[in-house]
Every structure is written in C-alpha cells, then in structure tokens.
Amino acid sequence: MNPVSNLAGPASGLSAWLQPFVQAGLMPYVAASERNAAALAIERLGHVPCVIKVMERAEDRAFHLAYLAANAIGFGNPALKMPNWVYIDCVLMQTAVIGFCIPRDSAPAALIEAFAADPSVPLEALDALPVSGQIAGLALDGDTLIGFSLFSLRKFMPALQNLALGPATKAMALSLYRAEERQRFQGIAQYDNPALKVHARFGRQIEIDQPVMPLHPLGH
C-alpha cells in the first residue's frame, strides 16, 4: 500500500495537465451509477468535456459492455474478464470507473479489431471506445482507497506512444476520487506486472503488505 498525498496531476490545474491527451483525441469518461457519478469531483476537469455513462440508462449499455471487453484486452487474458454482475454490484453500485475513451470514428483499425473479436461488444451502437480505466473504492476503515483494474490500450494506438496513458489514467482517477483526503491506496499486482512502475509513481513510498494472495486465480 502507498500513501497518496503527492498525486501527479493535482486537483489544481488538472484541466491544463490533461491537454496533451485531449489534443491527441482522447476524452475523459466516467462509468458509474447516477448517484456515484454525481459524487465525483468532475468539476476538477474544468472545461475538458467528460463522457458520463451510467448504468441506469439503456442507451449506455453498449459502452459498459465495451468497457468489460477493454479491461480483458488490457490484461491480455479473456479468462479474467469481469462478469457483468460483478461490474454492476461491486463497481458501478459502489464506486466508478474513470479513464479515457476515443471516438469510434477516429479509432485505429487495430483497436477496432481488438473490440470486434469480442462478440458481446455492439460496435455499431458505440460512439466512443474506452481505452483505459481505473477503479478504486473506499475501504471500511474510511482511510484507504482500494484500487484495481488499472489498464491501458495504448499499444493499439501508435499515435499515443509518447503519452503515458496508464499513469495519466490513475492520476486523473485519484483526483476525481478526491484521493488526497485519504491516507492509503492499496491493491494487488503480480511481481512482473508492468503496472507496478505506474503505482510506484504515486506517493512517497510503496510497501508489500502481503507477498502472496492465495485466493488469486493466477496464484502468484
């Protein structure tokens, strides 16, 4: 777990800090329930438009299905795809997904093909494709944010190779979650997971709380 007191992309000036990503054609998005979306600090985005997709709207269903596919693509393992009921009960009803998306009409062919490989994704119904995401929720102690499922699909978008999409996604998410009001950020990652480099950029220190999680499906 690591303290989250020195976020990259601070609350002040977040709009200006996001400009390179906006200029590259990306848009921030929030996927949540209507109530949880209203509780986020979306005003910190300033004049940067934010795509908001809520579970109560039938017209947003396609985006949520695309998110589940994007998350599985990002982790490179279809077996780890999040079940719909977990996404609804444990994510959308309790917290929110925050990330970047790209208009479908401007998405690279390789990205479109990656989504098209999942038959559950209604591509023709989508106006935007999620290309990164971070989830975090408040633990019962009231001081710890539990983060999971940070992913980025930058590898499918050659034009973005000079942009740190993963770190930017986490920084933006922590800002909208108001993470500076909490004491710790905790999550699970494999020792060889490249995302560890991202997590290590946030906070003054990072500590191993438990070296092995026996219940995890990867077993290490």
- Nearest-angstrom CA–CA distance, 145 and 184: 6
Going by pLDDT thresholds of 50, 70 and 90, the confidence category of residue 212 is confident
* Mean pLDDT on 16-36: 96
What is the value of pTM for the model shown? 0.87
Q: Which residue has the higher pLDDT, 70 or 183?
A: 70
134-135-138 Cα angle (round to 5): 140
The confidence score (pLDDT) of residue 5 equals: 37
**11: confidence class by pLDDT, cuts 50, 70, 90:** low
The reported pLDDT for the residue numbered 163 is: 93
CA nearest to 100, candidates 145, 132, 125: 132
Question: Is residue 45 pLDDT above 80, yes or no?
Answer: yes
Give pLDDT, residue 7: 41
* 2 or 218, which is more confident: 218
The Cα 101–Cα 133 span in angstroms is 9
pLDDT of residue 201 exceeding 70, the answer is: no
Model pLDDT, residue 102: 98
Q: Annotate the chain with three-state secondary structure.
A: CECCCCCCCCCCCHHHHCHHHHHCCCEEEEEECHHHHHHCCHHHHCCCCCEEEECCCHHHHHHHHHHHHHHHHHHCCHHHCCCHHHHHHHHHCCCEEEEEEEEHHHCCHHHHHHHHCCCCCCHHHCCEEECEEEEEEECCCCCEEEEEEEEECHHHCHHHCCCCHHHHHHHHHHHHCCHHHCCEEECCCCCCCCHHHHHCCCCCCCCCCCCCCCCCCCCC
pLDDT at 47: 92
Please, which pLDDT band fits residue 98 given cuts at 50, 70 and 90? very high
Mean pLDDT, the chain, as a whole number?
A: 88
Domains, in order of start, for the chain = 14-199 (3.40.630)
* 147 or 88, which is more confident: 88
